[in-house]
Amino acid sequence: MKKRLLNILLPIILIHLIILIILLFSGCENYNSFKEINALFVKNDLNIEFKVLQDKDHIYELTTLTDNLESKNYLLIDVKNNFSVSSDRIPVTPDKVYKLFITIKNESADPLVLYSFWKDSITESRNFTLAGENGNPPKSETQNINKDWAKYEETFQAQENENFIMVRIYSNQGVFSIKDISIEEI
């Protein structure tokens, strides 16, 4: 009787386990490596790699252009509906000081640069809006319309029990460009 029950239950348990594993590793969101923005790093002490969210609800066009004054490439991002770029959780050292900067030209968008500290892979401890303030929704100087390049910079210190940082860039719609990104340990 036990053997027969085991023969019936074992395949059912295995099927459920396989489905669970597929769901855990596939995720609901489709973030892919974003070489165009990763190429804009001028300094990357934490080896951050940005990934872009690609699905039917995120519609945007990317164009790599050259700034004629500096002979430097930049990325023009034309957001029709929701643009989202994110790093993984990257290890940081508590009590060390870091500097994050980004150079943006904002023609008509609402870009936000957010960074957050994490105790572990699931416990967020603090989050910040670059050149702005947290809130619902967050607000930032990066959202100001600016036809010229503007550099936004912040220095911060990882606190005790903060072992990871995550950096994200969002925009709901409009056109903006990114020329430089840097994160460095000071």
Span 114-126, pLDDT tens digits: 999 999 878 888 8
pLDDT tens-digit readout, 123-176: 888 888 999 988 888 889 999 999 899 999 999 999 999 999 999 999 999 999
Q: Answer whether 103's CB lies under 8 Å from 37's CB.
A: no
For residues 136 and 151, give the distance between their C-alpha atoms in angstroms, rounded to a whole number.
Answer: 24
Q: Which tokens is 126 given?
A: 């603090």
Q: Is residue 152 in some structural domain? A: yes
- CA-based nearest residue to 53, from 40, 68, 41, 37: 37
Q: Answer whether 21's CB lies under 8 Å from 161's CB.
A: no
Strands 41-44, 174-185: pairing is parallel
Number of Cβ atoms within 10 Å of the Cβ of 135: 8
Give the CATH number for residue 133. Answer: 2.60.120.260
Q: Is residue 102 in some structural domain? A: yes
Q: Is residue 18 in some structural domain? A: no
0.75 exceeded by pTM:
yes
pLDDT, position 115: 94
Q: Which tokens is 159 given?
A: 């606190």
Q: Is residue 87 in some structural domain? A: yes
Domain count, the chain: 1
pLDDT, position 144: 93
Helices (H), 27-98: 35-38
Number of Cβ atoms within 10 Å of the Cβ of 105: 19
pLDDT tens-digit readout, 80-126: 999 999 999 999 999 999 999 999 999 999 999 999 999 987 888 88
Q: Which domain holds residue 41?
A: 30-185
pLDDT, position 107: 96
SS3 content of the chain, % helix, strand, coil (to 5): 15, 50, 30
| CA distances, 120 to each of 46, 60, 94, 157 (Å) | 17, 32, 13, 17
Q: Is residue 14 in some structural domain? A: no
Question: Could you give the 3-state DSSP secondary structure of residue 4?
Answer: helix
For residues 97 and 120, give the distance between their C-alpha atoms in angstroms, rounded to a whole number.
Answer: 19
pLDDT beyond 60 at 182 = yes
pLDDT, position 137: 82
**How many helices (DSSP H) and strands (DSSP E) are in the chain?**
2, 15
Q: Is residue 16 in some structural domain? A: no
Write the single-letter amino acid at 33: S
